[in-house]
Amino acid sequence: MLRKNKYIIFILLLITVIAFCFDILLGSVSIPIGEALKIATGSTKANPTWVTIITEFRIPKAITAILAGSALSVCGLLMQTFFRNPLADPYVLGISSGASLGVALVILTTGTIGGKLFIIGSIIGRISITVAAGIGAAAVLFIITAFSKRISSNVTLLILGLMLGYIISSIESVLKYFSAPENLQGYIVWGMGNFGNVIWQDLVLLIPVVLVGLLSAFLLSKQLNLLLLGESYASSMGANIKLTRLLIIIIAGILGGIITAFCGPIAFIGIAVPHLTKSIFNKYDHLLLIPFVALVGSGLALICDIISQLPGSDQVIPINVVTSLVGAPVVIWIILQQKKIKHSSFME
């Protein structure tokens, strides 16, 4: 069993490393592989434009894809275990809605000039979007944690998160309705997700936050395992449910919130990767699942990013289009697969 898993881990690591390299080598500007490798390994003798593209744009983007993939996938796993619902994802608590509202307020309420700023992607525009999204996500997280102390049922909490999402998106609709077309375009572009907006300075914040979030999730493994049998059983086996709840919500909120703030809402990674990982490893233990999920999430996010660059063309499609096109079939395939397993075991 373990040996088989070791091979799988090795293959997954290999895929991730290769995907990371391809993500740097491929893009809308075609750079010869030899040159690209030289630049990536620190040579500055090459074409200065290419150097800038690779060191300032593609490498941070690839790192962001890894961070986003692992953070959203682990966040999705936490939510699925916590709510004992296979359809839960990083956004069920309404955190991405909060981020979206923050961004909507910034982009849609500034004048036309502001709108143009955001489309072009100026530094001020970029920073204010990230901060607004972060504040929006944090506000929702705060509301949810405040309620979670009073609400004992997870289902109620789930419904609360969903309803909060509806309220927020209706406010957004009002904002959209009254805003200028240029601004609307900026907002829609943000909503399609993008790993490429992150620069080195952002990574200084993004890397430690995601790593701490992932590590904290890992340290909760035992509690998460207990929760697989439900809260009553978990409590009967010594888990402190109130504290565990609060920690899960905060960790998931921070992981989901910070990625949404920097990359926009990224669809399907958070829901698909935990299922995909479980079907590869057939493991329940979070002590193993969390690192595996982070690995699979990183790899999948990189692959989606490569596809979104449409290698060989100078066009780019939004990352969310790719994650949905890859993620939805994965979820469908897994669900059908599971059904098959159940049926065959009935036949025996």
Q: Compute the distance between CA of residue 254 and CA of residue 141 in angstroms, rounded to an integer.
A: 8
229: DSSP letter: T
Provide the residue type at 28 as one letter.
S
Residue 218 CB, nearest approach to other proteins (Å) = 9
Cβ 269 to other proteins, closest distance in Å? 22
- Indicate the residue among 204 and 347 with the shorter CB distance to other proteins: 347
Three-class SS state of 309: coil
Mention every residue, 6+ apart, whose C-beta is less than 8 A from residue 82: 88, 154, 224, 227, 245, 248, 249, 252
287 binds other proteins per the rule CB under 8 A: yes
Q: Kindly state whether residue 228 participates in binding other proteins, applying the rule CB under 8 A.
A: yes
Residue 226, token pair as written in the block: 């207990």
CB 72 within 8 A of CB 255: yes
Rounded distance between C-alpha atoms, residue 23 and residue 124, angstroms: 27
Q: Does 38 bind other proteins (CB under 8 A)?
A: no
Strands (E), 185-290: none
Nearer to other proteins, 18 or 228 (CB): 228
Q: Which of 13, 14, 229, 316 is close enough to bind other proteins by CB under 8 A?
A: 229
156 binds other proteins (CB under 8 A): no
Among positions 111, 208, 230, 311, the unique one binding other proteins when judged by CB under 8 A: 230
Q: Which of 315, 344 has the CB closer to other proteins?
A: 344
Q: If binding is defined by CB under 8 A, does position 240 make contact with other proteins?
A: yes
Determine, following the binding rule CB under 8 A, whether residue 142 of this chain makes contact with other proteins.
no
CA–CA dist 329, 272 (Å, integer): 9
Q: Which stretch binds other proteins (CB under 8 A): 38-46, 159-167, 201-209, 335-343?
A: 335-343
| Selected binder of other proteins within 34, 48, 181, 238 (CB under 8 A) | 238
Write the binding mask 247 to 286 for other proteins: x where contact by CB under 8 A, - elsewhere.
Answer: -------------------------------x---x-xx-
Q: Of 185-193, 235-243, 313-321, 323-331, which segment contacts other proteins by CB under 8 A?
A: 235-243
Q: Which is nearer to other proteins, 185 or 235 (CB)?
A: 235
Closest C-alpha among 71, 55, 76, 70 to residue 16 = 70
Retrieve residue 334's tokens: 């897994």
> What is the DSSP code string of 49-98?
HHHIIIIIIIHHHHHHHHHHHHHHHHHHHHHHHHTT-TT--TTTTSHHHH
User: Is residue 219 part of the contact set for other proteins (CB under 8 A)?
Assistant: yes
Is the distance from CB of 252 to CB of 94 less than 8 angstroms? no
Closer residue to other proteins, CB minimum distance, 93 or 227: 227
Residues 58-117 binding other proteins (CB under 8 A) are 84
Q: Alpha helices, DSSP H only, in the chain?
A: 2-25, 33-40, 48-51, 59-82, 95-109, 112-120, 123-150, 154-177, 181-191, 200-219, 221-227, 231-236, 241-263, 269-281, 286-308, 319-347
Smallest gap, in angstroms, from Cβ of residue 84 to other proteins?
Answer: 7
**Closer Cβ to other proteins, 8 or 310, answer by number:** 8
Residue 70 in tokens? 């692992």
Q: Is 35 in the site for other proteins (CB under 8 A)?
A: no
- Exactly one of 119, 199, 221, 310 binds other proteins (CB under 8 A); that residue is 221
Task: State the residues that interact with other proteins by CB under 8 A.
Answer: 84, 219, 221-222, 225-226, 228-230, 232-233, 235-240, 278, 282, 284-285, 287, 338, 341-342, 345, 348
